[in-house]
Structure 1
Amino acid sequence: MLAVFLFFKVMRKQLTLFLCVVAINACSADNRAVEVTALLESGKILSAIEVVSIDECSTENEACAFLGVGLLKFGGSEHIELAKRYIVAAANSGNLRAKVVLGNFKIEGSYFDKSPVEGIALLKEVASLGASEGKYYLAHQFYSGKHVKKDVKKALKLFTEASMLGHKYAHYNAGVLYYELYKDCQITEQFFARGAQFDEHAKVALEQIRAEPPCGKTQ
């Protein structure tokens, strides 16, 4: 058994706030979202808030999503309630990234009242629309079986779809699960190779699968 597969017992999933920031900080063509992110990262919290108001979230939902999550990360405790309002407003206006963030927070009971049913529903909605983030986080739910009936094959399907859509952390999880279910070294290696440029876990896994039995050559 490859040593790398021991990693899978603690699935490759970041802490909720970190993973949500990762989901939000994707490349965006929305200039106001980029402006908001730059201001937050430079500590100009009030200036960032001035860029987009809550009332504008129906048309500027990308900037609102960035602002909501950014305030949680950079704004301190005094901005938590405002951050939550921005996230909800962006999600209600249809922003898929904000729906993923809100879904994860509700599942974990972070910042919002814990409601796994509502959180899972949000992830399913986003996944059904073809968004990689929704598929990735929903896959974790089906693998863990904590809030939905455990279904490893469904988790693999979702991780694979997220991987094909370019989610940079899905490659590793899809590879490990594929090996766990089917012991297919070739396909597992392909998943790890896709993820190695983004994810240290995938990079280590790729080196090990190529070097160690049962997949790699013996010395």
Structure 2
Amino acid sequence: MRSEYYEEALSIMNNEDAAEKAHPLLVAAMEAGDYRAHYALGTWYLYGRHVKKNLKKAVALFKQAAANDVAEAAYDLAVCYEDGEGVRKDLAKAAALYLRAWRCGDVSSAAQLRRMFYWGIGVKANRAIAEEFGKLHASSGK
């Protein structure tokens, strides 16, 4: 579900002092079921931007957004699992989340999947699959 609250919060975030105005809009967007807002607030908690850094809150918000097909949230959650940021390191989950991000439209995930399949990180090494993800990434122009 998309909400006008998220769009309004996004439009004012270009202003450095806008966090105070954007935060309640993002919360309203979350309450309206706009999972992009979960992702946006998750990034705030991940990096300690506008709020106190809290990796557990970031991960919880990313999980909700990723479960609702927000590609960027699945990607960032994959990075959290790969690096052990806010969660116990789990390379298999990281690979699965990169795949989810890719399936939801994040083309940069193909590069991560290529790397993981090439070297056998969290998945059984498979150079043929790695090559296919490499082609997908190259064809995306990213």
> Smaller-chain TM-score range?
0.7 to 0.9
2:41 equivalent in structure 1: 102
Does the 8 Å CA contact 2:39/2:70 hold for their aligned counterparts?
no
2:31 equivalent in structure 1: 92
Runs of 4+ displaced beyond 4 Å: none
Q: What percent of counterpart residues are identical?
A: 24
Cα distance between partner residues in 1 of 2:16 and 2:104:
34
Does the 8 Å CA contact 1:61/1:89 hold for their aligned counterparts?
no
2:82 alignment partner, SS class: helix
2:9 to 61, 68, 82: 68
Relative distance call for 1:147 and 1:76 in structure 2 (3 A) is: closer
Cα distance between partner residues in 2 of 1:105 and 1:76:
14
Greater Rg by CA: 1
The one-character-per-residue Cα deviations of 1:152-194 (angstroms, maximum 9, x if unpaired) are 1110011012212321221111111121214422211211222
Cα distance between partner residues in 1 of 2:101 and 2:128:
19
- TM-score, scaled relative to structure 2: 0.84
Q: Which amino acid aligns with 2:67?
A: S
Q: Which amino acid aligns with 1:180?
A: W
Cα distance between partner residues in 1 of 2:141 and 2:49:
25
Does the 8 Å CA contact 1:127/1:134 hold for their aligned counterparts?
yes
Cα distance between partner residues in 1 of 2:16 and 2:41:
19
Higher relative contact order (CA closer than 8 Å, sequence separation 6+): 1
- TM-score, scaled relative to structure 1: 0.57
2:71 equivalent in structure 1: 132
1:171 to 92, 106, 110: 110
1:145 aligns with 2:87: no
Shift of 1:61: 5.0
Gaps of 5+ in 1: 1-59, 201-219
Cα distance between partner residues in 2 of 1:151 and 1:176:
16
The one-character-per-residue Cα deviations of 1:173-216 (angstroms, maximum 9, x if unpaired) are 1111121214422211211222224353xxxxxxxxxxxxxxxx
Gaps of 5+ in 2: none
1:188 aligns with 2:130: yes
Q: How many pairs does the alignment contain?
A: 139
